[in-house]
Structure 1
Amino acid sequence: MTEGRFDELIHPSTRLSLVATLAATDWAEFAFLKDRLSLSDSALSKQLSTLEGADYLITERVSTGRRRTVRARLTDTGRDAFAGHVAALQAIVGDAQAVAAEVPAPATPRRS
């Protein structure tokens, strides 16, 4: 079981969605990520650069004939950070559910 570690770098929703998408695959092309996350080229590039700077992912430029594409994949560090972050979120949600189960339901007001 992965130890829960809240990760401020991947917590923002855009980065969390990006990392979750990459966690589900080996490599993902820029165009796919852009469409999947509904981001502009510049917004996606910024997120990729931020995560790459933290060694959470790597990007690769691939040439196929005349076409050049960029693709990305999580590093082991990125996969570990994502797994720890998910475990931390699950613990938070689990704690909230446990508290909700312990709190008595409010009394229903009587009608006269």
Structure 2
Amino acid sequence: MADQMSRSELSDELGRQLRTPFDQVLTDSNRLRIQAALHGLPQSGSIRFTALAKALGLSDGNLSAHLAVLAEVGYVSAEETYTGKRRTRWFSATAMGREAFEGHVQALRIIVDSAKLAERD
């Protein structure tokens, strides 16, 4: 029947690629967005908490909770500065965080590219 969907097995290579592991911390979309924003800064760059919250459209509480997770695993570092009594928190990606982000993005690319290859077959 011409209308019947084609059925086949996945190639071993495609199956292997689809098993590429993700970074479990970065599977949360908000943490991935935060890490991406920090990764987009220059290597030694940092961003104010308020600017990060505004850029990502996250509430202070939500951003704070996700930054705490990222800091706990060593992906983000924080620094506080003071102007008089006013505190400003600055955040940056650590070398470990940059490496984890690159690995996670590579895993996503492999899966997306694998799907594109499967469409052509």
Alignment TM-score, normalising by the size of structure 2: 0.77
Identity of aligned residues (%): 37
Hey, what does 1:12 align to over in structure 2? 28
Aligned-partner residue type, residue 74 of structure 2: D
Aligned-partner residue type, residue 32 of structure 2: L
Hey, what does 2:87 align to over in structure 1? 68
Residue by residue over 1:54-110, the C-alpha shift from the partner in whole angstroms, topping out at 9 and shown as x without a partner, is 0011111111234311110011110000000010000000000000111xxxxxxxx
Structure 1 spans left out of the alignment, 5+ residues? 103-112
Distance of 2:119 and 2:34 partners within structure 1: 31
Distance of 1:21 and 1:11 partners within structure 2: 15
Aligned-partner residue type, residue 77 of structure 1: M
Aligned-partner residue type, residue 22 of structure 2: F
Distance of 2:93 and 2:85 partners within structure 1: 27
Hey, what does 1:58 align to over in structure 2? 77
Q: Is the 8 A contact 1:58 1:72 kept in 2?
A: yes
Residue by residue over 1:16-61, the C-alpha shift from the partner in whole angstroms, topping out at 9 and shown as x without a partner, is 1000000011201101111011111111110110000000111111
* Counterpart secondary structure, 1:62: strand
Q: Among residues 79, 82, 93, which one is paired with 2:98 in the alignment?
A: 79
Structure 2 spans left out of the alignment, 5+ residues? 1-19
Alignment partner of 1:39 is 2:55:
no
Q: Which has the higher helix share?
A: 2
Cα displacement (A) at 1:6: 1.5
Aligned-partner residue type, residue 41 of structure 1: D
Report the number of matched residues. 99
Distance of 1:8 and 1:40 partners within structure 2: 23
Hey, what does 2:37 align to over in structure 1? 21
Higher mean displacement: 54-63 or 5-14: 5-14
